[in-house]
Amino acid sequence: MKKILILLVIIFTFSCNCNKKKDNKSKTNQVTESKNNFDWLLGKWKRNNEEQGKETFENWSKISDSKYTGIGYTMKDGDTIKQENISLIKSGNQWNLTVKVPEESQPIFFEMIDQKENSFVCKNDSIDFPNKIKYWKNKDKINASVSSSEMEIEFEFEKIK
């Protein structure tokens, strides 16, 4: 009888540990999935803190679970004066940001160095400005900053569609 009781305790203990491992694995997958989700960027956004006489917009789309694309542009007097194509691309387990402006032949690559549920930071130390790009959700708005050690420009966007 004592052996059966010990055996039951061992089986019960083992089954409890297995369930805890499954629960922890499930929680880990939820965190990974939320960290790999940039859906909070999706939509059409207009910059609130732009210079007088200019309007800046960003439009973000989800191409797949491993690729998001955006286009950013600034207009003055009805003409586009600045434009950039932005991509968030997952390669393996790493997300990275690329920025392509018309005057450059190749996109500029930024490595994602920090990522949370509704924010990320990317960096490229091989260029002068910007060498750091940060996006974060702020309630119903999106904020961004581009910076170097000498300067920072902040953006605040509100959704227009």
Per-residue pLDDT tens over the stretch 47-81 = 999 999 999 999 999 999 999 999 999 999 999 99
Residues 34, 28: Cα–Cα separation, whole Å: 10
* Cis geometry, peptide bond prior to residue 107 (ω within 30 degrees of 0): no
Residues 23, 113: Cα–Cα separation, whole Å: 28
Residues 99 and 47 in one domain: yes
Could you tell me which residues come within 8 angstroms of residue 117 by beta carbon, excluding any fewer than 6 positions away? 34, 35
- pLDDT > 60? residue 146: yes
Tokens of 105: 């032949």
Tokens of 160: 């227009």
**Tell me, what's the pLDDT at 9?**
36
Tell me the residue range of the domain where 24 lies: 1-35
Residues 55 and 104 in one domain: yes
116 vs 25, residue with greater confidence: 116
Q: For strand 119-123 and strand 67-76, is the pairing parallel, antiparallel, or unpaired?
A: unpaired
**Tell me, what's the pLDDT at 35?**
60
Cβ atoms of 40 and 52 within 8 Å: the answer is no
The per-residue pLDDT for range 86-143, each reduced to its tens digit, is 999 999 999 999 999 999 999 999 999 999 999 999 999 999 999 999 999 999 999 9
Residues 57 and 30 in one domain: no
Instruction: Say which DSSP state 72 is in.
Output: E
Q: At 89, which CATH number?
A: 2.40.128.20
- Is the pTM higher than 0.85? The answer reads no
Residues 29 and 43 in one domain: no
Residues 90, 155: Cα–Cα separation, whole Å: 25
Tokens of 122: 């990317």
